[in-house]
Amino acid sequence: MSSIKAFSPLSRILLCLAVASASTPVLADTVWLKNGDRLSGTIRVFDGNKLVLETGYGGTIAIDWKQVATLESEQHLLVKQDDVTGEHAKALVPAEPGKVTLANDTAPKTVELASIEQIMKPKPLIEDFSWKGNIDVGVDYKRAEKDTDDYDIDLKTQARHGRWRHNAEAEYNREKQNEVETTDNWSADYALDRFLDEKWFWQGRLGYKRDYIEDLARQRTIGTGPGYQFWDDELGAFSLAGLINRRDYEYANGDKDNFYALTARWDYNRYLVGKTVELFTSGEVGKPLGNVADYALDAEAGLRYKVTDWASLNIKAEKDIVSGSDGDIDETRYSLGFGVGW
């Protein structure tokens, strides 16, 4: 009896609230299939005829859109019926088979599922904090007439807080043929973006590359200029930036050059097939304002296949050209490897 009396009225109230909150079901999205099955989870994206549903019982599931009868969600979602315009729905309400109702501030709108091209969570301009990135590792051992050991490590990460966005990249490449080093270089790059509105931003950039094999031993870059973010959503991102750079070249024989250059940078990625395949490319092409070189190109392109939510396989091609200088460079590298993303 004494233990029961020890509970005060406030304690009893808190205990009741705790029990009630623990027993309250967690809200989830629901997908009804044409065969009568019902799946619960969180809708992540619909694109490429696949609806991606994240579940607590089966991980991420890609559902064939043609098998969906209707669906329900309390998320704020962007529903696009063409490539340009989209409707912001505060919720999705189930309707008769083959249709769904978009709940918004005005009158609810019922649409055919077949007319929907994309569903995704809208990305606001101002976010408290977001961080994403990936590390790709490629290793190739070949034992033949020429023994080849090839290592490639690539880090790319991006963090955003409000109107500020931080971009960092680092890469290391090393290759040996019959114990003779044919490639040995590393590079690091950092850029800070300040968004002026939803699309336009101003960028400042610092870069450094060290090469222990080629005649062009060191490259230092500092630049600034405007950029434009065409899109950045659940399915990928695409941005362009035009910069004026100050470049410093140092060659293996001790010669040095410094000059200004006009450059264009791009960064593009796009998820395909229900976010299981990612197409990506990034790089920079520039025209020196002096007579040091005709042009310079540093670019990469590839495909990434998601094995799990965080692990992926990737294939990538890299091109590095400095044309018209004393230490001309024309390198092409191909790699196949394993990656981790977040």
Alpha carbon distance 50, 117 (integer Å): 10
Least confident piece of the model among 7-21, 246-260, 310-324: 7-21
pTM value is 0.73
Alpha carbon distance 280, 320 (integer Å): 17
Task: Name the more confident of 104 and 125.
Answer: 104
Are 230 and 240 spatial neighbours (Cβ–Cβ below 8 Å)? yes
pLDDT over 70 (residue 2): no
Instruction: Count CB neighbours of 285 within 10 A.
Output: 15
pLDDT over 80 (residue 57): yes
Report the Cα 232 to chain-centroid distance in Å: 9
> Looking at residue 270, what is its pLDDT?
94
Pairing type for strands 77-80 and 99-103 reads unpaired
Specify which of 78-87, 114-123, 325-334 reaches the highest per-range mean pLDDT: 114-123
Instruction: Count CB neighbours of 69 within 10 A.
Output: 20
Share of the chain above pLDDT 90, in %: 48
Q: pLDDT tens for residues 169-218?
A: 999 988 888 878 888 999 999 999 999 998 999 999 999 999 998 888 99
Q: What are phi and psi of 37, to 5 degrees?
A: -70, 155
pLDDT over 70 (residue 126): no
The closest alpha carbon to 71, from 101, 45, 47, 48, belongs to: 101
pLDDT over 60 (residue 22): no
For residue 144, name the pLDDT band (cuts at 50, 70, 90).
low
